[in-house]
Every structure is written in C-alpha cells, then in structure tokens.
Amino acid sequence: MSEIFSSPDLTQHYQQKIRQVFAEVGKVVVGQQYMLNRLLIGLFTGGHILLEGVPGLAKTLTISTLAQVLHLHFQRVQFTPDLLPSDLVGTMIYNQTQSEFEVKKGPIFANLVLADEVNRSPAKVQSALLEAMQEKQVTIGETTYPLDLPFLVLATQNPVEQEGTYPLPEAQVDRFMMKVYVDYLKKAEELEVMRRMANLSYSSDVQAVLTKEDIFGIRGLINQVQISDTLEKYIIELVFATRKPAEYDLGEFAQYVQYGVSPRASIALHRAARTVAFFDERDYVLPEDIKDVAADVLNHRIMLTYEAEADGVRTQDLIEAMLRKVPIS
C-alpha cells in the first residue's frame, strides 16, 4: 500500500474494523456476504440501497443485525397500503398543557432506516421518503428539519407478489445508489441455516464495532483512493453507452433501450469503485472495481422498451454486453 493515505496505521485500523463487521454479522447471518458488502458500500459512500429478493433470504435480518454492529440510531418501518406520510416523517400534535402545537418526529429521524417492502405504500408516502433521501431533511408543517448524519435508507421489496403494490417512480428509484438482487444460498450455507434454526435454544450476540466517528473517518480515507483519468473516462463511456447504445456496437440492444442512466450513475460508479478498492486494501482503483459494481449501480436506472420485455431481454444482458464492448482507452 502506497503512502497516499494520510496515516497507514489508521487505514489498517479501519480495514481491520471492517473485517470485524463482516465477522460479527456472520454470527447471525449465514452467507449473503455479497449483500453485506453492498450495504457497507452504501454506508461508507452515503448511498441508499434497494434490496430485491424473494421472501426468506435474510434481507431484513441482515440489515437489523448490521444496525446492532453500528453505534447508530436504527428504525424499521413496515410499509403498508394504509401508511400515511405523517407515520413516516412525523406530525404536529396539540399539547393541551402548553396550549400550543408541538412536533412529534417520526421514525425517519434515525441514522439507519429500514424501509421494509417499500413498494407497498402509495405515492404520497414514497414522495415523503424521497425528500428525506435526496435532501437529508423533512418538512413538518411549515418547518424543515435536517436529519442526523450519517443518514441511510435501506429498502427491501419482494419481486414475486405484485398484488397491492405501488411501483416506485423513476425519480425515487434513481435516488438509490444500488439495486441489489439477493439470491438463494448455496447448499452448504442453507444446511448451516437449517441446523442453526432447528436448535430452538440457539442465540448469538453481536458486538458493536463502528461508531459515527469511524464511519466518517473511513469515508475520508475512501476519498483519498486514487482513480486515473483513463478510468474516469471509462465510467463516462459506460454511462453514455446506456444512452446511445447504437454508437457502442451493442447490436440488437440498441433498439431495446428507452432511456439511459442519469448523471447520478456516474457519481455512484466513481464512489463505489473507490470503496471496493479500499475494501481490497488498495489506494487506487482497477478496471475490475468498476466492473464489479456496474450491474448494481446501473440495472435499476436503465429503462427498456416494452419490446424488450416481450422478447425476454433484461437490463443485465445489456450491462454484460456493455462491459464486453466498451473499451478502456
């Protein structure tokens, strides 16, 4: 590791703490290292994460366990069709003793907010969440209140059961740094889960590892990770390949793209790639770091046509083609 980091000893200290986070969460959650990796990328870059997967894959358990490992204020909100914006952000209530209205803050006033099944609430609730995600503030009555930093929304949604759900608007989906598809466990991992859960007396306590100061310290070190001009231009080429696929030799995919990604995608790729490099104990970004996070950063931002859905073309197919075709020059 080169001397670009301001303090190599401090860097090693924080990287050791990150390994401890994985170990502590692993006491409760079997497997799902990929999902935890993405959650930590969001934590250390200030990016919100959307998790999608069938029920029972430990999405909620992983987030709640991670919250225990962090010295952060955590709130879980179960999104339902009858949820109101005031249930999320808070409201004004009348204090009869003082003969005046006072603010009752909602669960959004936390550092780590789990929005469980976020697509089950109507547009008004989602728009209230949108202000908090983007502006790091909420408005109650006529007053705007800043949220305590770090502030992170970790949302889950179930891709199977669509009855009674409200698709997230594109403007809100774009606010999520990554959309992570959570897959089934491997056989050995599922065997371990079965054995743990079959033991009715099984319990595992986790220890808090990171504080707010640690998180901001790690963010500062990630900000020192170097990325070359060549790789920055490569990120821009990937982004423009989603907007003008015909110019990048992507063949039949050109006809299936309705809209490409926004500038938030290039920012997210830049931040996420540097975080991956830091996790690998490097102070410089490799092309593999960008490719590693490309699918999660881009998949929910690319809008395909109805023809693509009819022909069975996925955004994942387009991203894989881009990573093969777009050169690094």
105 lies in a domain?
no
Torsion of CA 118, 119, 120, 126, to 10 degrees: 70
* Sheet containing 152-157, strands listed edge to edge, beginning at the edge strand earlier in sequence: 74-78, 112-116, 152-157, 48-52, 176-181
CATH number at residue 300: 1.10.8.80
93 lies in a domain?
no
87 lies in a domain?
no
Boundaries of domain holding 234 = 225-325
302 lies in a domain?
yes
Domain final position from 167, 186, 217? 217
pLDDT of 5 > 80? The answer is no
How many CA atoms lie within 13 Å of 73's alpha carbon, on the beta-carbon side? 11
Mean pLDDT of 250-262: 88
The bridge status of strand 74-78 relative to strand 112-116 is parallel
Do 174 and 250 lie in a common domain? no
The count of domains in the chain is: 2
| CA nearest to 64, candidates 156, 142, 183 | 156
Give me the phi and psi of 256, to 5 degrees please: -100, -10
178 lies in a domain?
yes
276 lies in a domain?
yes
Contact status, residue 71 vs residue 17, Cβ threshold 8 Å: no
Do 245 and 270 lie in a common domain? yes
102 lies in a domain?
no
Do 187 and 306 lie in a common domain? no
Do 158 and 65 lie in a common domain? yes
Kindly state the tokens that stand for 128: 């209230």
* pLDDT of the residue at 240: 95
Do 264 and 299 lie in a common domain? yes
Do 190 and 318 lie in a common domain? no
* pLDDT of the residue at 312: 87
Domain final position from 161, 185, 217? 217
- 91-100, 204-213, 218-227, 241-250: which range is least confident on average? 91-100
CATH number at residue 138: 3.40.50.300
pTM here is: 0.90
287 lies in a domain?
yes
Do 21 and 61 lie in a common domain? yes
pLDDT band of 4, cuts 50, 70, 90 = low
Is the model more confident about 88 or about 201? Answer: 88
CA angle 267, 273, 274 (to 5 degrees): 95
Q: Which residues contact 220 (CB under 8 A, 6 or more apart)?
A: none
pLDDT tens-place string over residues 25-56: 988 888 889 999 999 999 999 999 999 988 88
DSSP states of 32-96 as a string? -HHHHHHHHHHHHHT-EEEEE--TTSSHHHHHHHHHHHBTS-EEEEE--TT--HHHHHEEEEEET
Report the mean per-residue pLDDT for the chain. 88
Do 287 and 153 lie in a common domain? no
